[in-house]
Structure formats: structure tokens, C-alpha cells
Amino acid sequence: MLTADIRSELAEVGLDCTEMIGKFMDSEDMFLKYFKKFFGAADSVVEELSAAIAANDLGAVENRAHALKGLSGNIGLNGVFDPARKIVDDVRAGRYDSFSADFNKLQTAYIKARSVSEKID
């Protein structure tokens, strides 16, 4: 169940629960099912993105950031989606100087959202 405290914590990482529940046919249960599944799929992508950035593997950076953008966009996790989108856009535009800052934002939001997901029954 999404308590007011949980909704507030998720809002801090850019997730509007009311809006997203609406996109899941007004079913909080359905939204929560996919929200929790997100982390099972995204954990490895975040790790792979981190490794790609450390190795300066631009192709892998674009690929993994693009995958994470899609996954986080599906559940409205804008704190992850926005920096992932910026990383993809920057790689495609040949701008490589802000990966670390964008990845740090992404990772901070991801860790917080994951922590909040573990509080949900």
C-alpha cells in the first residue's frame, strides 16, 4: 500500500504515484507490481552502465542508458529517467563531459527509489 509517507518519498525521486496509478488503469496493485519488477530488471542495467562509464565505453554507455531510460520511463521514475535521457542525448551529440554528474544523480535517485520499494508490502 502506498502510504502518504511512501508517496512523499517517491515524489522526491520524481515519481508521481497518482499519475502513474492512473496509467495503470487506476490500479494501485498493478502499478506496485510493475514498480517492484522494475528493480529486478534495472539492477543489472545500472551496474552495467556504471561499468561502461568507468571504462569510457561510449557505445555501452549509450546502450545501457537508453535501456534504463525506457525501463524507468515505463513506471514514471523521472529521477532516473531524466539523467538517463541526458546521458543518451549527450553521447549522441558527442558531449562526454557530464557522465559522472548525470550518473551520480541517476544512481542517487535509483538507490532511494529501491529503498522505498522495500518498504512497500
| pLDDT at residue 1 in the model | 87
| Rounded Cα gap, residues 112 and 10, in angstroms | 8
Q: Report, as an integer, the average pLDDT of 14-37.
A: 96
Residue 63: partners with Cβ closer than 8 Å, 6 or more residues away: 52
Q: To the nearest whole number, what is the mean pLDDT of the chain?
A: 96
Asked whether the beta carbons of 68 and 84 are under 8 A apart, the reply is: yes
pTM, entire model: 0.94
Domain count, the chain: 1
Residue 3 pLDDT > 90: yes
From 79, 102, 77, 76, select the one nearest 89 (Cα to Cα): 102
Segments forming the whole domain that contains residue 26: 4-117
Q: Residue 105: which CATH number?
A: 1.20.120.160
C-beta contacts of 35-40 below 8 A and 24+ residues apart? 35/75, 35/117, 35/120, 36/117, 36/120, 38/71, 38/72, 38/74, 38/75, 38/77, 39/114, 39/117
Asked whether the beta carbons of 116 and 9 are under 8 A apart, the reply is: yes
Residue 121 pLDDT > 90: no
Complete DSSP assignment for 68-120: HHHHHHHHT-HHHHHHHHHHHHHHHTT--S-HHHHHHHHHHHHHHHHHHHTT-
